[in-house]
Amino acid sequence: MDHVELTAPGLLLRPWREEDAPAVLAALREPAIAQWNPSPGGVDLPGAREWIRRRADWSADDHVSLAVTGPDGNPLLGSVSLHRIHDGDASIGYWTVAEARGHGVASRAVTALTSWAFAHLRLHRIELCHAVANPASCRVAARAGYPAEGTLRESYRYGDGRRYDEHLHARLATDA
Ligand SMILES: CC(C)(COP(=O)(O)OP(=O)(O)OC[C@H]1O[C@@H](n2cnc3c(N)ncnc32)[C@H](O)[C@@H]1OP(=O)(O)O)[C@@H](O)C(=O)NCCC(=O)NCCS
């Protein structure tokens, strides 16, 4: 798959770049991201570079991973990615750096990537999972048009090593 850049109001969603590594390192170490988007074993600068390298390589056609930035490509505000793309299905994940939270960054980024994916990847269903203990993520799902479908019991081990119940949300290409 070729790289794309997307826009959302006040945001640019662009492919990851090597020079994002220090900002990625700071983000992945921030406590809320370390808890809800855990990097197994923690992360150092080489690990942040490897994290970027994997997300910048779209050659397997199984993910689309974008940095969420200000309109000029900086600063780094967050991350949004579609993963497990297969046979019309995918999952979406995201985080926002602590300083940028509460301004609609995640909601706008998820909405923009979702719309692009339905139009250009011909997906039918995108799933979004978050810990029930993470209500901000539940709000992002609702704002981005992903209705809740149910609760998965102790379905994922998060950053503190504990298993948490999760809400499964999903959006279909045919949803209004
Ligand atoms: C969850 C997260 C991505 C939200 O990012 P954001 O850019 O602040 O999200 P938005 O501004 O688009 O929307 C935030 C919504 O959550 C609500 N919210 C924020 N903090 C909240 C909290 N502690 N409890 C309940 N709702 C909260 C906001 O009021 C807003 O809802 P509203 O629009 O109905 O008022 C961000 O907090 C984050 O990165 N957290 C750590 C990592 C994480 O949770 N990632 C998601 C894993 S599934």
pLDDT tens by residue, 111-153: 999 999 999 999 999 999 999 999 999 999 999 999 999 999 9
Instruction: Judge whether 165 lies within some domain.
Output: no
Residue 84 resides in a domain: yes
**Cis link prior to 75 (omega < 30° from 0)?**
yes
- Asked if the structure places residue 151 within a domain, the reply is no
Does residue 40 form part of some domain? yes
Give the predicted TM-score (pTM) of the model. 0.97
Residue range of the domain that includes 50: 6-128
What share of the chain in percent tops pLDDT 90?
98
Centroid of ligand 1 to alpha carbon of 101 (angstroms) = 7
The CATH number for 29's domain is 3.40.630.30
Residue 42 has pLDDT above 90, yes or no: no
Cα–Cα distance measured from residue 122 to residue 103, given in angstroms and rounded to the nearest whole number: 30
Which residues' Cβ are closer than 6 Å to ligand 1? 32-33, 36-37, 94-96, 101-107, 130, 134-137, 139-140, 143
Residue 12 CB-density burial (10 A; 0-12 exposed, 13-18 middle, 19+ buried): buried
Number of domains in the chain: 1
pLDDT at 41: 78
Question: Domain for residue 159, yes or no?
Answer: no
In a domain, 147, yes or no: no
CA of 66 to the centre of ligand 1 (A): 18
